[in-house]
């Protein structure tokens, strides 16, 4: 498939099952809501080393938040419910409780509940108080700037991680510029995050390694400096590859984000230096969710 001079490979992105949650963070203003959210989603690019993948989903206006203050929603994903619960609770205590004027609320409803403030309330040392509003429990924890307001629980749902596509370009600046354009477009799609720095990852990986202790290593087939040394996926004209990884609440959410991102790139045309769009997979052995590029782009 060729669109505006850019080749779209007939391949698929391979993704796997995860557990996910959403948290709404508010504060005195957006500046402090972002301080809290950025701290909470730090060191959360990949479950390979971070345990959790997290990111800011979008800004929220005062009429969208429980306490009528400006805020942001964040999404967090992990490979299992136990890890997600541990990571959420730890990050709540270290990043939201500590942030001036911040408050935290459930961002998703489900039968499965995990703690936001259920255990964090004990920081109040017996002076914490609770209130039940519309069958939802909230905790008020005394802190030095006043009170920390937090909902007792939020929902946990089945989700998907690892949707992706690869941008193959003639130079590093061109690959990165195209990735930035895609990310800006994808940020407007709901229910997804792109967890790597700026939404982009340069260190795409493959399963396994020559070193026994490593279960993931560099995706050598897409490394430009290894042409001639390995079985490469790159033609002579391609000198840089960037990957965008997407986690989402549903298959459709990820497919929509991928479509939006890829379309943003091919609208740039061949003058952008982008030669191909491809995707990372392991022959279907990694996960059950396969995002076929041609099918995604064919959807209206």
Q: What is the pLDDT of residues 222-239, one digit of tens each?
A: 999 999 999 999 999 999
Task: Give the residue-averaged pLDDT of 92-115.
Answer: 97
Query: Worst-scoring range by mean pLDDT, 10-19, 65-74, 144-153, 277-286?
Result: 277-286
pLDDT of residue 73: 98
Q: What does the block give as tokens for 81?
A: 């419910």
Domains of the chain: 2-14+159-298 (3.30.70.520), 19-157 (3.30.70.520)
Cβ neighbourhood burial of 286 (10 Å; 0-12, 13-18, 19+) = middle
Q: What percent of the chain has pLDDT over 90?
A: 94
Q: Tell whether the model's pLDDT for residue 300 goes beyond 80.
A: no
- DSSP for 208-243, written as a single string: --SSTT-SEEE-GGG-GGGBTTB--S--TT--EEEE
Whole-number pLDDT of residue 285: 80
Taking residues 66-79, what's their average pLDDT?
97
pLDDT for the residue numbered 241: 98
- Please give the pLDDT value at position 107: 97
Mean pLDDT, range 134-140, rounded to an integer = 95
Give residue 102's pLDDT band: very low, low, confident or very high (50, 70, 90). Answer: very high
Predicted TM-score of the model (pTM)? 0.95
Tell me what the mean pLDDT of segment 143-157 comes to: 98
pLDDT at position 215 over 90: no
Q: Report pLDDT digits (tens) over 151-180.
A: 999 999 999 999 999 999 999 999 999 999
Mean pLDDT of the chain: 96
Q: Check whether 105 has a pLDDT greater than 90.
A: yes
Determine which of 57-71, 134-148, 169-183, 271-285 has the lowest per-residue pLDDT on average: 271-285
pLDDT band for position 282 (50/70/90)?
Answer: confident
């Amino acid at each position: 498939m060729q669109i505006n001079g850019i080749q779209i490979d007939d391949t698929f992105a391979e993704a796997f099952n995860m557990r996910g949650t959403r948290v709404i963070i508010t504060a005195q203003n957006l500046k402090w809501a972002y301080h809290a959210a950025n701290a909470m989603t730090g060191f959360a690019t990949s479950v390979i080393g971070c345990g959790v993948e997290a990111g800011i989903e979008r800004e929220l206006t005062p009429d969208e938040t429980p306490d009528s203050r400006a805020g942001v929603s964040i999404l967090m994903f992990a490979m299992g419910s136990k890890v997600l619960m541990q990571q959420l609770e730890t990050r709540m205590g270290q990043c939201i409780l500590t942030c001036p004027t911040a408050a935290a609320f459930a961002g998703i409803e489900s039968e499965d509940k995990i703690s936001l403030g259920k255990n964090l309330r004990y920081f109040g040392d017996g002076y914490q108080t609770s209130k039940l509003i519309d069958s939802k429990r909230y905790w008020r924890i005394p802190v030095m700037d006043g009170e920390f307001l937090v909902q007792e629980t939020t929902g946990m749902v089945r989700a998907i991680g690892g949707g992706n596509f690869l941008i193959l370009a003639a130079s590093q600046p061109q690959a990165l510029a195209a990735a930035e354009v895609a990310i800006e477009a994808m940020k407007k799609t709901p229910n997804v995050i792109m967890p790597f720095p700026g939404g982009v990852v340069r260190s795409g990986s493959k399963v396994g390694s020559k070193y026994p202790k490593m279960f993931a290593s560099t995706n050598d087939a897409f490394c430009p400096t290894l042409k001639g040394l390995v079985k490469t996926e790159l033609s002579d004209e391609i000198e840089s590859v960037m990957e965008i990884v997407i986690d989402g609440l549903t298959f459709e959410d990820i497919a929509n984000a991928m479509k939006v991102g890829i379309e943003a790139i091919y609208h740039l045309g061949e003058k952008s230096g982008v030669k191909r769009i491809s995707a990372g997979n392991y022959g279907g052995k990694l996960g059950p969710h396969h995002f076929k590029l041609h099918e995604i782009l064919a959807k209206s």
